[in-house]
Structure 1
Amino acid sequence: MIKDQKKIDEYYEMIIQKNPEYVGIFYVGVKTTGVFCRPIWPSKKPEKENCEFFETAKEALLASYRPCKRCQPLNIPSSLSPEVRKLIAAVEKNPERKWTDRRGLEREIENLRKKFNGALVPGTNNVLKKLKLELNHYFKGSLMEFSVPLAEELGTPYQKKIWKQYLQELL
Structure 2
Amino acid sequence: MTEIRIRVNGVAEALDVEPWVSLLDALRDRLGLTGPKKGCDQGACGACTVLADGVRINACLALAMQYADTEITTIEGIAKDGNTHPLQDAFVRHDGFQCGYCTSGQICSAVAMLREHAAGVPSAVTEPGGPGELDETEIRERMSGNLCRCGAYNGIVDAIKDVAGQGAS
TM-score by length of 1: 0.23
Name the structure where strand makes up a greater proportion of residues.
Answer: 2
Structure with greater proportional helix content? 1
Q: Which has the larger radius of gyration?
A: 1
Q: Which has the higher contact order (CA 8 A, sep 6+)?
A: 2
